[in-house]
Structure 1
Amino acid sequence: MDITSRSVFMVGGTSGIGLELARRFREAGSTVVVGGRDTEVLAKLTAEGLGTVEIDVTDADSVARARDDVLEAHPDLDTVVTMAGIGVPEDLWDPAHFATAQAIVEVNLLGTIRVIDAFTPHLLARGAGTIVTVSSGIAFLPFPPMPTYGASKAAVHAYSEALRAQLAGTGVEVAELVPPAVATGMGSGNPRALSLDAYGAEVMELLAQDPTPHEILVRGVLMHRWAERDGTYAELVAQRSQALATLPGRTRN
Structure 2
Amino acid sequence: MQLTGNTIFITGGGSRIGRELARRFNDLGSADRSRAQNGPAAISTFSQQVVKQHPELNVLINNAGIMRYEDLSKARDLHDAEAQITTNLLGPIRLTNALINHLTTRANPVVVNVSSGLAFVPRSDAGTYGASKAAIHSYTLSLREQLKGQVKLIEITPPAA
CA distance in 2 between partners of 1:14 and 1:112 (Å): 17
CA distance in 1 between partners of 2:103 and 2:28 (Å): 22
Retained in 2: the 8 A contact 1:82–1:112? yes
User: Which position in structure 2 is the counterpart of 1:215?
Assistant: none
Indicate which of 49, 54, 60 corresponds to 1:74. 54
Aligned residues: 161
Q: Which residue identity is paired with 2:49?
A: D
User: Which position in structure 2 is the counterpart of 1:135?
Assistant: 115
Deviation at 1:127, TM superposition (A): 5.8
Deviation at 1:94, TM superposition (A): 2.6
Q: Which residue identity is paired with 2:21?
A: L
CA distance in 2 between partners of 1:4 and 1:79 (Å): 11
User: Which position in structure 2 is the counterpart of 1:168?
Assistant: 148
Deviation at 1:148, TM superposition (A): 0.3
TM-score (norm 1): 0.61
Provide the aligned C-alpha RMSD in A.
1.4
Indicate which of 66, 69, 76 corresponds to 1:96. 76
* Cα deviation digits, residues 59-108 of structure 1 (max 9, x gap): 11221222122111211111000111111100012311422211111111
User: Which position in structure 1 is the counterpart of 2:17?
Assistant: 17
Unaligned 5+ segments in structure 1 are 37-54, 182-189, 191-253
Question: Is residue 2:149 matched to residue 1:150?
Answer: no
CA distance in 2 between partners of 1:8 and 1:99 (Å): 31
Deviation at 1:2, TM superposition (A): 1.8
Q: Which residue identity is paired with 1:23?
A: R
Q: Which residue identity is paired with 2:159?
A: P
User: Which position in structure 2 is the counterpart of 1:56?
Assistant: 37
CA distance in 2 between partners of 1:82 and 1:169 (Å): 20
Residue range with higher mean Cα deviation, 147-156 or 11-20: 11-20
Matches within 5 A, 1:7-46: 7-30=7-30, 32-36=31-35
Q: Which residue identity is paired with 2:27?
A: E
CA distance in 2 between partners of 1:69 and 1:27 (Å): 25
Deviation at 1:125, TM superposition (A): 2.4
Q: Which residue identity is paired with 2:147?
A: L
User: Which position in structure 1 is the counterpart of 2:63?
Assistant: 83
CA distance in 1 between partners of 2:64 and 2:79 (Å): 19
Retained in 2: the 8 A contact 1:90–1:97? no
* Cα deviation digits, residues 9-48 of structure 1 (max 9, x gap): 0012111110111011000111x22222xxxxxxxxxxxx
Higher relative contact order (CA 8 A, sep 6+): 2
Retained in 2: the 8 A contact 1:64–1:118? yes
Give SS of 1:95's match.
Answer: coil
Give SS of 1:131's match.
Answer: strand
Distance of aligned partners of 1:128 and 1:27 in 2 relative to their CA distance in 1, 3 Å threshold: closer
TM-score (norm 2): 0.94
